[in-house]
């Protein structure tokens, strides 16, 4: 494949790994969004998350780390549960949330690595494939943020009932799904 074909192919694979196939990733990004729907704040959180998952994705793709799916998948579900609960308990972002997001990003990167290992990376253009996969993932995340912002937040964020009628119910639903996934991944998936 040419450089352009590799770039397009792995960009698309990264993007579709988030949208539409990465339901757990979509819920995590939504959880980041709903604590503080300020666009700049959400982009900072997602950038920290992206930096972290890029590190472990690269380490796992180059075989410096061998992720264990039986550990990583329940931890991904717990990260979603944690951020959803935090949206209900807290009103603003603090430094600890950013540190925790970085840690969760490291875990999610190992999950991406498992998916990427199934897809495979060409040995001849390994680095470019990895970079464009990661860029595709980032664009998927940004798409979720834009869709959520323009479909919900732009119109409703200034309403006095926004947290009560939007953030709490959505975070509760995300939390329930994540709790179910945590239990399922711990006890029912081989």
Give the span between the Cα atoms of 68 and 189, in whole angstroms. Answer: 13
Q: Is residue 116's pLDDT more than 80?
A: no
Kindly state the average pLDDT of the residues 46-71: 89
Provide the percentage of residues in the chain whose pLDDT is more than 70: 99
The residue ranges of every structural domain in the chain are 23-187
The whole model's pTM is what? 0.89
Q: Is the dihedral of CA 171, 35, 83, 17 positive or negative?
A: positive
Provide the percentage of residues in the chain whose pLDDT is more than 90: 50
Give the span between the Cα atoms of 49 and 80, in whole angstroms. Answer: 13
Question: CA 80 → CA 73, 128, 173, distances in Å?
Answer: 11, 30, 11
Q: Is the dihedral of CA 30, 164, 103, 181 positive or negative?
A: negative
Give the span between the Cα atoms of 183 and 32, in whole angstroms. Answer: 22
């Amino acid at each position: 494949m040419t450089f352009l074909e590799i770039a397009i192919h792995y960009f698309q694979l990264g993007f579709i790994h988030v949208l539409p196939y990465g339901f757990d990733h979509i819920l995590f990004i939504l959880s980041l969004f709903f604590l503080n729907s300020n666009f700049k704040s959400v982009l900072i959180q997602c950038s920290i998350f992206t930096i972290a998952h890029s590190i472990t994705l690269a380490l796992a793709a180059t075989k410096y780390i061998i992720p264990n799916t039986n550990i990583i998948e329940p931890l991904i579900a717990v990260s979603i549960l944690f951020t959803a609960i935090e949206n209900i308990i807290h009103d603003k972002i603090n430094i600890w949330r950013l540190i925790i997001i970085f840690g969760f990003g490291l875990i999610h990167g190992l999950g991406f690595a498992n998916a990427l290992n199934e897809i495979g990376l060409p040995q001849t253009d390994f680095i470019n494939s990895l970079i464009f996969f990661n860029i595709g993932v980032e664009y998927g995340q940004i798409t979720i943020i834009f869709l959520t912002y323009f479909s919900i937040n732009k119109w409703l964020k200034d309403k006095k009932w926004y947290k009560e009628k939007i953030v709490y119910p959505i975070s509760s639903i995300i939390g329930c799904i994540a709790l179910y996934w945590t239990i399922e991944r711990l006890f029912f998936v081989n």
